[in-house]
Amino acid sequence: MTFFRFDIDTRSRLAGRFIGRVRRELLKAIVEEKQGGLTQQELARRLETRRSDINRQLSGEAEITLRSLADLAWALDREVTVELRRPDTATGQNIAPATSTIGYQPVRIIARKAPND
């Protein structure tokens, strides 16, 4: 074996990457603000919360609600942009399969072909 694809189903992939992206965007903003002198302690003071709570959200150990995302964005002087759009499909692009072939859940056969078809 010279190649291995870590392949999970589309629903899981979208969820995991969305959650990860939100966290990364927050971390990037914090790194940028840190260069300007903002500490996590100061961030906690602005949000009137505990530093450890913010740390747990940023490490992914506590859930970031829409409210806390908006509050963090405010405290970091950022705006949140949300957009739901249909997936891009055009010739020459990577085409993500609609269903996984090796997904970590058992493969579900949606419509089995009849023997005489």
Partner 1 sequence: MPTISDLVHNGAIVKIDVELAPHDQPLRLLYGTPQFVAWLREVLDGAQPDQLLGHSSIAEQIDDLFYSFLSGEQLIFTRQFRAVRAEENAVWELKTPDVRIFGWFMAKDCFVAVFGNWADTIKDHDLYRGYRIAIRRLRRELGIDATLCVKGVAPDDVLSV
Q: Which residues bind partner 1 (CB under 8 A)?
A: 1-8, 12-13, 15-17, 19-21, 24, 27-28, 31, 58-61, 63, 87-90, 93-97, 102-104
Among residues 57, 25, 32, the alpha carbon closest in space to that of 44 is found at 57
**Residue with smaller CB distance to partner 1, 9 or 75:** 9
Give dist(CA 44, CA 27) in Å, integer.
15
Give dist(CA 31, CA 106) in Å, integer.
40
**Residue with smaller CB distance to partner 1, 37 or 97:** 97
**Residue with smaller CB distance to partner 1, 4 or 67:** 4
Q: How far is the CB of 88 from partner 1 (least distance, A)?
A: 5
Strand, helix or coil for residue 38: coil
If you search the block for the tokens 């970590």, which residue do you land on? Answer: 104
Phi and psi, residue 114, nearest 5°? -70, 150
Q: How far is the CB of 79 from partner 1 (least distance, A)?
A: 19
**Residue with smaller CB distance to partner 1, 81 or 89:** 89
Q: How far is the CB of 98 from partner 1 (least distance, A)?
A: 11
Give dist(CA 67, CA 36) in Å, integer.
25
Tokens encoding 95: 């085409």
Q: How far is the CB of 15 from partner 1 (least distance, A)?
A: 6
